[in-house]
Structure 1
Amino acid sequence: MESQLRKNLEERLQNLEKEVYLVFPECHSPNVREAVNLLDKYPKVKTIPLSAELLKSKGMEDLVESFLPEYEEATRNYYEKQVKKGKMDKKDWESFNREKARKELCDPLNFALMMARKNYADAEVGGVEATTAEHTRRALYLVNKDPRKENIVCSCTMEFLTPVKLEDKGEGTTREIRFLTLADPALGKPAMEYGFVTSEKLLKSMKEGNLISEESYQKSIAKVEEEKRGYIRLKCDQAISALVWHKFLTQERPIGAFLCHSTAGSDQASLYVQFLRQEVIPAIVKALEEEKKHNPLLKDAVFISQECQVEAASDPRIGRKKAKGEAYAGYANVHLLSAVDTGNQHYKTFLTFTEMDSMICWSGFLKPIYDLSRSSPVKDIVLSALVAATQAIPGTAFAEKEKWQQKIYEMNKNL
């Protein structure tokens, strides 16, 4: 079956007024090389394929040297912050010099991010070889976060090449599911690292048992409350971003649901479920209503007001039973996950056992940065590159940008 996602993106590419420059730092990967070659069919997409071998060649010396002072300064500042946090030895920071900076800059990932920083590239597409943690860490200090955004968030939109059909005898209809978007498949903490859910109760019992002072209790509670607020803001950002991406990529009405082991309060004893129902989901619903006022992509978006198990979220036959009174239960096409471990495994299960196309979409960096999975097939690299091309805002045109894109492209062919 023809990919509707690709068709939608190709239609958007036709509306591009300027050429878009995409840099790929992992062209030592056969999959990335093949994807770059396939992108040649799109005249407005200009690819910049990088590899360690290419960066060691004499033809790249001038560009490396022109990037070097700014790379050294940005990296030194980052390392200094790491020392203060206790995550780096002070001796390593003090010994960082121009020669070490030059060696690091010749790492294709670092060089690609510097090309984005210096406007030689409009977007970067990586993560096929580098881990998500390493890719995003470097992007945060070389490309930087958008100051208007509090969180870096990602979502994954999937297209089932054989649509899932659900026969609903109760309604006398058959529902066809072709698209699904997951929020939080790559960033955030694993669920076990969120201690704020149970900390408040534990601290209260310690205080009542005179194990901690009133002052310590108040300070600890303040930290717990701040962590809870941070989690709520993160989930609001993830939900809004995923709903926007789903609409943008699929043109379907986005309907979101917060996935959980409980549906509509079925686990009444869970502190986490209570937290979702009382604080998190109401905050998401409120944030969505605010975003609708100025984002046309969210005009018809909905977020279900109860937590849902997977089948209650996306199968109306189950949704009617488990979440009575929720008009959209069973119709969700955007799944918001509790933490990175659940999100990642939800995505990887589909990737392993289902024939599908998928793309991972990111929000929050100053420039479009796209981090793929190390298990991404060629077609998913191409799709993510097309998303990057449609989202990139072409920087100011200058002769060096075009010159180096053409030079690197030709040099890469001869390696």
Structure 2
Amino acid sequence: MDFLQSIKQKAKACKKTIVLPESLERRTLEAAQIILQEELANIILVGNEAAILEKAEGLNISGANIVDPEHYDRMNDFVDTLVELRKSKGLTREQAEKLLKDPLYFGVMMVKKGIADGMVAGAVNSTANVLRPSLQILKTAPNTKLVSSFFVMVVPDCDFGSNGIFVFSDAGLVPNPNAEELAAIAISSAKSFKALVGEEPVVGMLSFSTKGSANHPDVDKVIEATKIAKKLAPDLKVDGELQLDAAIVPSVGASKAPGSEVAGKANVLIFPDLDAGNIGYKLTQRLAKAEAYGPITQGIAKPVNDLSRGCSAEDIVGVVAITCVQAQLSE
């Protein structure tokens, strides 16, 4: 069974409710039809019902719950909650009412209130717009200092990683993490790999150096991050600094980092910065014809996931299924 089918089965086994706030986007509506047909999740669409149904002409989204913020009977409660959450920032009631007419803020508040279990957006909104209300309303998960992101990469005909499955992090959110942040990204990514793939994470902290082959402050950051990760998560298999080939190719790992329990076996790849992570995932996706699921966020109190604006309806379905599994694990 491939990765996506496995995720879909997990989603079906404990059905969750996902809010899709970009309800006037055709790809979102096509995805909603597929999700409802395959019984992956319950779907909430945010917006004016007549406008949504007009945009969904030819599609069957009758199983979706359409909620219009303009006529929502719990809006006063939503406003009260947002004012309370943002009182330290001086948010007025009038400002809160305006914010909650934004489908993204409204959708996140539905997650906050437990009406939905997660939210997926980003087909027409920037990452910043999707994550801003999430951080303001949901905040970070307990014992998590940093919100980061990852991609699940499924590489065809590949013996490396977990039968060709990897987590690449951070490839979508944190531009230049310091050592403490890089350690936090590594620990969160290991948990995400275990949750979604179901196998033991083996974490490679990537660099242009392997075990002292080069000297540079960028290398020092990865070495320090590895020490911090080992201290914070002593049972985690994590090692660095490792070049990419030393991390995933057994013969190279044995040669460059003999004695390492990670070298040559890594399935969670932690990139030193966003440049490397973003380039790495796109190279793998395009040259190896890999499936790339993400960016999936980690570290928010409840699951909210961002889409690429170039996503297809099928991409949205995949991210919704992943969000369902994250929601199951956050209970």
Give the structure-1-normalised TM-score.
Answer: 0.67
Q: Secondary structure at the match of 1:189?
A: coil
Q: Which residue of 2 aligns with 1:253?
A: 200
Q: In structure 1, what is the Cα distance between the partners aligned to 2:149 and 2:125?
A: 17
Deviations 1:97-144 (A, max 9, x none): 62x544432221111112112222111111222222222222111222
Distance 1:57 1:282, change over 3 A: closer
Q: In structure 1, what is the Cα distance between the partners aligned to 2:69 and 2:111?
A: 20
Q: Does 1:271 align with 2:271?
A: no
Q: In structure 1, what is the Cα distance between the partners aligned to 2:212 and 2:293?
A: 32
**Aligned-residue offset at 1:38:** 0.9
Paired residues for 1:331-370 under 5 Å = 331-353=265-287, 354-370=289-305
Q: Which residue of 2 aligns with 1:163?
A: 157
Q: Which amino acid aligns with 2:144?
A: K
Deviations 1:265-284 (A, max 9, x none): 1113x12323433x221221
Distance 1:141 1:352, change over 3 A: same
Q: In structure 1, what is the Cα distance between the partners aligned to 2:168 and 2:320?
A: 19
Q: Which residue of 1 aligns with 2:5?
A: 7
Deviations 1:318-341 (A, max 9, x none): 323333443532221110011223
Q: Does 1:122 align with 2:104?
A: no
**Aligned-residue offset at 1:181:** 0.6
| Bigger CA radius of gyration | 1
The number of aligned residues is 315
Q: Which residue of 1 aligns with 2:185?
A: 238
What runs of 5+ residues in structure 1 fail to find an aligned partner?
81-92, 167-174, 192-230, 293-300, 397-415
Q: In structure 2, what is the Cα distance between the partners aligned to 1:74 and 1:154?
A: 28
Q: Does 1:392 align with 2:322?
A: no
Deviations 1:361-387 (A, max 9, x none): 333222211122223333332122112
Q: In structure 1, what is the Cα distance between the partners aligned to 2:310 and 2:112?
A: 27
8 Å Cα contact 1:122/1:394 also seen in 2: no
**Aligned-residue offset at 1:61:** 1.3
**Aligned-residue offset at 1:46:** 0.5
Q: In structure 2, what is the Cα distance between the partners aligned to 1:125 and 1:38?
A: 15
Q: Which amino acid aligns with 2:158?
A: V
Q: In structure 2, what is the Cα distance between the partners aligned to 1:186 and 1:119?
A: 27
Distance 1:106 1:59, change over 3 A: closer
Q: In structure 1, what is the Cα distance between the partners aligned to 2:162 and 2:100?
A: 49
Q: 2:130 aligns with which of 125, 135, 140?
A: 135
Distance 1:69 1:274, change over 3 A: closer
Q: Which amino acid aligns with 2:319?
A: S
What runs of 5+ residues in structure 2 fail to find an aligned partner?
53-65
Q: 1:371 aligns with which of 306, 311, 315?
A: 306
Q: 1:153 aligns with which of 148, 154, 167?
A: 148
Q: Which amino acid aligns with 1:8?
A: S
**Aligned-residue offset at 1:393:** 5.2
Q: In structure 2, what is the Cα distance between the partners aligned to 1:40 and 1:6?
A: 17
Q: 1:46 aligns with which of 20, 42, 47?
A: 42
Q: Secondary structure at the match of 2:164?
A: strand
Distance 1:148 1:389, change over 3 A: same
Q: Does 1:180 align with 2:166?
A: yes
Q: In structure 1, what is the Cα distance between the partners aligned to 2:217 and 2:290?
A: 37
Q: Secondary structure at the match of 1:155?
A: strand
8 Å Cα contact 1:313/1:319 also seen in 2: yes
8 Å Cα contact 1:21/1:394 also seen in 2: no
Q: Does 1:307 align with 2:241?
A: yes
Q: Which residue of 1 aligns with 2:55?
A: none
Q: 1:280 aligns with which of 222, 225, 237?
A: 225
Deviations 1:64-96 (A, max 9, x none): 74355326615863754xxxxxxxxxxxx7xx6
Q: In structure 2, what is the Cα distance between the partners aligned to 1:274 and 1:65?
A: 51
Distance 1:33 1:8, change over 3 A: same
Q: Which amino acid aligns with 2:201?
A: P
**Aligned-residue offset at 1:57:** 9.4
Q: Secondary structure at the match of 2:110?
A: helix
8 Å Cα contact 2:203/2:262 also seen in 1: no
Q: Which amino acid aligns with 2:208?
A: H
8 Å Cα contact 2:45/2:67 also seen in 1: no
Q: Secondary structure at the match of 1:150?
A: coil
Distance 1:58 1:323, change over 3 A: closer
**Aligned-residue offset at 1:313:** 1.3
Distance 1:111 1:78, change over 3 A: farther
Higher helix share: 1
Q: In structure 2, what is the Cα distance between the partners aligned to 1:319 and 1:357?
A: 25
Q: Which residue of 1 aligns with 2:257?
A: 323
Q: Which amino acid aligns with 2:35?
A: L
